[in-house]
Structure 1
Amino acid sequence: MQKRQVGSSDLFISEISLGCMSLGTDEKKAQTIIDKALDAGINYLDTADLYDQGVNESIVGKAVKGKRENVIIGTKVGNRFEVGKEGWHWDPSKKYIKEEVKDSLRRLHTDYIDLYQLHGGTLEDPIDETIEAFEELKQEGLIRYYGISSIRPNVIREFIKKSNIVSVMMQYSLFDRRPEEEVLDLLHENNISVLARGPLAKGMLSKKGLAQVETKGRDGYLDYEYEELKTSTAAFLHFVNEERTPNAIALQYVLKHPALASAVFGASSINQLEENLTYLNSKPLDDNLYNQLKKMTKPIKYNKHR
């Protein structure tokens, strides 16, 4: 498994990595998926305190017991919740971040977090205060590095100017090319890496793509109407052959840009994990195919989320 450096940090993470949100709460099943991912060479696991109200962090922590030094763990903070109660509210305050990190550390069964990420954010947030919290946690040795999970260009620009973030997690796929418009080059120029979530666009860029369009794309997807999704998915699947699976092509596409450190996919079953691991044995994505893929989709812009 090839690894890429995360920004200016000394973290080197696998080109494809496991987003743990969809693992579920069956510990044995989740352990099996994580074990197989690690055995395949994946070394980055991405979770968040909000996922299943902390249960996901606990599952990840137990799964890497005895392997901690070989695993890079990323988790997130900012969505304040109370265990057992529905809902949450946004709280990027220094006080909350410094309190919540202790709960994440306890659930993860570790004394440090490799990559601590702000789980969202707007320009109305107390950004300076948030940054101060992360910087203090670094000094205290509770986190190694920090980043943000955001798709908002204006928020990203503020953190570039004011902070020492090493990464930005954002949604990016062939069907969501918004980052290409104004974010990817900017981050690359500032030596900040991108962790791409949703690289398979809700499974519409997998071998079951057309079926997924019927279940997930009936009401459209971003700037795509239902009929456009059907047409584009069919065109995408046309590129599949013995040398490349659809999952591999989708992952290779987002990893083509030099700002990318990893494509973070979710897996709720061993089968889904294995489909994404076909990336490892696929023929590399050349410039010609990359450009053809661009032609069968469309560039879109961030409108509502600024």
Structure 2
Amino acid sequence: MRRLALGGLNVPVLGLGCMGMSEFYGSAEERSDDAAAVATIHRAIDLGAGHLDTADMYGVGANEELVGRAVAGRREEVVVATKFGNERGPDGAFLGIDGSPEYVRAACDASLRRLGIDVIDLYYQHRVDRRVPVEETWGALAELVAAGKVRHLGVCEAAPATIRRAHAVHPVAAVQTEYSLWTRDPEVDGVLDTCRDSGIGFVAYSPMGRGFLTGAIRDPQELAVSDFRRHNPRFQRENVGRNLAMVERIGAIAEAKGVTAAQLSLAWVLHQGVAAIPGTKRVGRLEENVAAADIVLDADDLVRIAAAAPVGGTAGDRYPDMSTVHI
């Protein structure tokens, strides 16, 4: 697996997003198979894709515990990334975004306990707290680095000005934002340019459009009742037709190239010089994703892809509530 520098952190270009193993995607029954999830994580490590991404909010801590069990005995083979900032109650209720120094310290200690590790390789501010100056949050994060609890720092879904302010307090190793053929925002809102100008790495989450770009989702109403995507604007009936047309165009290009739509979508993201963390609970899907790292896109491919999935070509917002992103 090729590797990429995220600031001073070296990671495989393609890692594994672990969120869906515990919450948000699929049914509760599908998410209850911890053995399959651990097997998928182990296979990712075997294939050199051991950049494991989790967060304290996923499953209200359960996902960190799952990742912790999976990496036990293999700690030196993986990059462990987790996040703080989205506070939830024991019942899963969302309580808000907290970037206060006190919360930063408490959240880090709790994540270390759940993960069963001594140091977090990459610790992200998951969402920016409008009430707390980013300088205060990052001052506390810098203290965690000095204390040896965290190696590198990142921020998710932040605006260019916020990224620069954080970077002035302590080097930002990575910015994590949704980025795919149907989410081109980082190209137009200045985030990618800010990262490149400042030597900051970029990590794309949902690089296959929350599974939509694979072509496997034709009718969102067939998703599990508890699946987050049922409430996502891009999966609503008024937007599905336009988005499916994009998927069909991408699928035709993939078929002509002898790859899957998922692999073509991932290869395009990696071609942008960023890292990606597609999520899956299944070993077979993981292996399909990892193979995308070896796909080479030529100039003709890129022209055809650009026509099939133009900037602004997706129908619907990324989230039902966009108020917590790009702050």
Same fold (TM over 0.5): yes
CA drift of 1:45 comes to 0.2
Distance, in Å, in 2 between the alignment partners of 1:271 and 1:73 is 22
- Alignment partner of 1:103 is 2:117: no
Give 1:126-205 correspondences, 5 Å limit: 126-181=133-188, 182-205=190-213
Distance 1:68 1:52, change over 3 A: same
CA drift of 1:85 comes to 5.3
Q: Which residue of 2 aligns with 1:273?
A: 286
| Alignment TM-score, normalising by the size of structure 1 | 0.89
Distance 1:152 1:38, change over 3 A: same
Distance 1:180 1:232, change over 3 A: same
Distance 1:131 1:280, change over 3 A: closer
Structure 1 letter corresponding to 2:39 = T
Give 1:210-249 correspondences, 5 Å limit: 210=218, 221=234, 225-241=239-255, 243-249=258-264
Structure 1 letter corresponding to 2:173 = V
Q: Which residue of 2 aligns with 1:289?
A: 301
Q: Which residue of 1 aligns with 2:267?
A: 252
Question: What fraction of aligned residue pairs are identical, expressed as a percent?
Answer: 29
Contact 2:13 2:293 in 1 (8 A): no
Give 1:39-54 correspondences, 5 Å limit: 39-54=46-61
Q: Secondary structure at the match of 2:193?
A: helix
Q: Which residue of 2 aligns with 1:38?
A: 45
Contact 1:217 1:229 in 2 (8 A): no
Contact 1:213 1:229 in 2 (8 A): no
CA drift of 1:122 comes to 4.7
CA drift of 1:33 comes to 0.9
Contact 2:154 2:175 in 1 (8 A): yes
Structure 1 letter corresponding to 2:14 = I
Deviates more, 1:61-70 or 1:158-167: 158-167
Q: Which runs of 5+ in 1 are unaligned?
A: none
Contact 1:47 1:75 in 2 (8 A): yes
Superposition CA RMSD, Å:
2.6
| Alignment TM-score, normalising by the size of structure 2 | 0.84
CA drift of 1:207 comes to 4.2
Structure 2 letter corresponding to 1:269 = R
Distance, in Å, in 2 between the alignment partners of 1:49 and 1:156 is 22
**Residue 116 of structure 1: which of 116, 119, 123 is its match?**
123
Contact 2:18 2:279 in 1 (8 A): yes
Distance 1:225 1:44, change over 3 A: same
Distance, in Å, in 2 between the alignment partners of 1:251 and 1:73 is 21
Distance 1:62 1:41, change over 3 A: same
Distance, in Å, in 1 between the alignment partners of 2:301 and 2:221 is 23
Deviates more, 1:144-153 or 1:206-215: 206-215
Q: Secondary structure at the match of 1:5?
A: strand
- Alignment partner of 1:299 is 2:311: yes
Q: Which residue of 1 aligns with 2:18?
A: 20
